[in-house]
Amino acid sequence: MGFWSGSGKKKILCADDDENVLSLLEMALDGAGYEVDTAANGPSAVKALTSKNYDLAILDHNMPGMTGVQILEVITPSPHAKNTKFIMLTAESQVGVIDRAFSYKAAEYIVKPFDVAKLLMKVAAVLEKK
């Protein structure tokens, strides 16, 4: 372990109630050089987002406890999320949900099923934006 070990890695929280999706996201993002944490429901995601500074959170919409948009409603006014960017990754494709997500600071809205390579490109693009 050298001086640079662990420093400079972008931190990403992935929140989804589907274990398979979480595993896929964790594997792909870790493989791309990101530090990844996971949450299996809305309240766990809020707890994580208020206890650690993340560069990005990837949120499912339909989760137990809170939806992805409800997480955005709670967390975006918080100082904890001041520098956090958000991507919605969900099977929910209703226009009202999409509009609400963007109104609460979502940078991208990706509908499942998704292509991992395209997701990684979107993640990199969102993280590069100022």
User: What's the pLDDT at 7?
Assistant: 53
Residues 6 or more apart whose CB falls under 8 angstroms from that of 91 comprise: 61, 62, 111, 112
Residue 107: is its pLDDT beyond 70? yes
Query: How confident is the model over 17-71, as pLDDT tens digits?
Result: 999 999 999 999 999 999 999 999 999 999 999 999 999 999 999 999 999 999 9
CATH topology of domain 15-123: Rossmann fold (3.40.50)
Going by the DSSP 8-state scheme, the letter that residue 9 receives in this structure is P
Domain extents for the chain?
A: 15-123
Q: What angle do CA 85, 57, 105 make, to 5 degrees?
A: 40
The candidate with the shortest Cα–Cα distance to 71, out of 14, 24, 22, is 14
* Confidence tier at 110 by pLDDT (50, 70, 90): very high
* Confidence tier at 82 by pLDDT (50, 70, 90): confident
For the chain, give the mean pLDDT: 92
What would you report as the CA-atom Rg of the chain, rounded to the nearest whole angstrom? 14
